[in-house]
Amino acid sequence: MKKIIDKLTVFNTGALGYGLIEVLWRGYTHPSMLVAGGVVFLAFSYLNKFLSKVRMLYKCIIGSGIITVTELIFGLFFNVLLKKDVWSYSNIKFNFHGQICLLYSVLWGFLSIFVCKISSKMNKMLS
């Protein structure tokens, strides 16, 4: 039972954190982004557990990939398939179907520094 509560705590932290970032960045968010944030934060939790000895630079590159792939999956589902128009990177260079773009992938890499640190502290706190 403790493991389930720990995972829910990590998920909810990611959901609320990502939602807050979105509201601060663009003034609003969508419920699907809360789920994406929870999924991403769970992935970072595992990243920090299993790659604890890996240098931060590599964690940031992997973290950027985690966030970008999650964004692509959620974008294809919510924006393309369900036509919810949650976001679009169509007006930004080097985008893929308006769902992901190079600029934000780089920004996710920088954000990964903080997410890794928070996730690592949470892992220690919940162990």
Q: Beta partners for 96? A: 100
pLDDT digits (tens, 9 = 90+) for 25-81: 999 999 999 999 999 999 999 998 899 899 999 999 999 999 999 999 999 999 999
Report the alpha-carbon distance of residue 18 to residue 12 in Å, rounded: 10
Structural domain containing residue 47: 2-126
Q: Using one digit for the tens of pLDDT, what is the confidence trace for 109-125?
A: 999 999 999 999 999 99
If one counts the domains in the chain, the total is: 1
